[in-house]
Structure 1
Amino acid sequence: MPVVKSFTRAQWDAAARRLDALPEKPEHEHRVNVRDAMKSLQPQIVGAQRKGYTQEEIVQQIAQDGVKISAATLRYAMKHAAKEDRFAQTEKHVTTNADAALPRVKRAGPTRSSHTGSARTESQKKGDGGITRPESTPVKGFLGFPIRPDTENL
């Protein structure tokens, strides 16, 4: 069973003071993980690919500067960086469009018919608690296969 570690407030305060007192490291000594580096190198890598270099050749060129990664790592990091770029662009697009959105106009409420006392809505007749689902889109299961309700043996 794992043991929960606890320390005194004085120990945590001393650790905080020690971290605050650390000197600034030179920029060239900062560690950068592969995913962050791919975000900054993405234009150069795409440019090299446009020049006709394969990912393996790009990896060999990068390795000459001491960065030893595999082609699979490069491929994965580039794909992930591209996804993050698309997400950032989408998020930026959404926030720009949200600023330019038109003000909402309150719609008039539904009119009541003369049969409001005894009339039941379609969902009340079905007994589904007001849940409506479009008939054209089937529900999909865990693996993406459509699930049809078992209504034959009711």
Structure 2
Amino acid sequence: MPVVKIFTQAQWDAAARRLDALPEKPAHEHRVNVRDAMKSMQSQIVGAQRKGYTQEEIVQQIAQDGVEISAATLRYAMQRAVKEDRSAPTERHVTKNTDAALPRVKNANQARSSHTGNARAESQKKRDGGITRPESTPIKGFLGFPIRPDTENL
């Protein structure tokens, strides 16, 4: 069982002062993960691809500067960067058009609540504890075919 470590407030304060006193590291010593680097280098990589270089050749060029990654890593990081670029404008577009979508959402919610209210009322009348559905509206499956639950042999 793990032991919970407890430290004094003086120890935490001393640690905080030590971190505050650290000097600024030069920019060339900052560590950058592959995803963040691909975001910043995306235009250069796409430019090299437009010039006719393959991803393997781009990886070889990058490796000459000490950045050794595989072509699969480059491909994955570029796909993630493209997905994130595509999702950013979509999120802005969605936030602008939320007012237009609200009336439909409210109507759908009202329709659902009235349907569930009727089902609850029917189940309370029957006092069987289950929610019954009217026979006129069958449940539809994945492909749109009606599905009848097998409840006769319970």
Question: So what's the TM-score if we normalise by structure 1?
Answer: 0.67
Could you tell me which residue of structure 2 aligns to residue 138 of structure 1? 142
Which structure 2 residue ranges, 5 or more long, are not aligned? Answer: 111-116, 124-129
- Structure 2 matches for 1:16-95, cutoff 5 A? 16-95=16-95
Deviations 1:53-108 (A, max 9, x none): 1111110010011101111111111111122212222112223334xx46x7899x
Which is richer in helix? Answer: 2
Cα distance in 1 for partners of 2:20, 2:97 equals 42
Which structure 1 residue ranges, 5 or more long, are not aligned? Answer: 111-119, 140-147
Q: SS at 1:23's partner residue?
A: coil
CA RMSD after TM alignment: 3.6
Q: SS at 2:32's partner residue?
A: coil
The count of corresponding residues between Structure 1 and Structure 2 is 131
Question: So what's the TM-score if we normalise by structure 2?
Answer: 0.67
Cα distance in 1 for partners of 2:148, 2:70 equals 48
Label 1:43 to 1:129 Cα distance change in 2 as closer, same or farther (>3 A).
farther
Aligned-residue offset at 1:31: 1.0
Cα distance in 2 for partners of 1:89, 1:136 equals 36
Percentage of pairs with the same residue: 68
Could you tell me which residue of structure 2 aligns to residue 151 of structure 1? 150
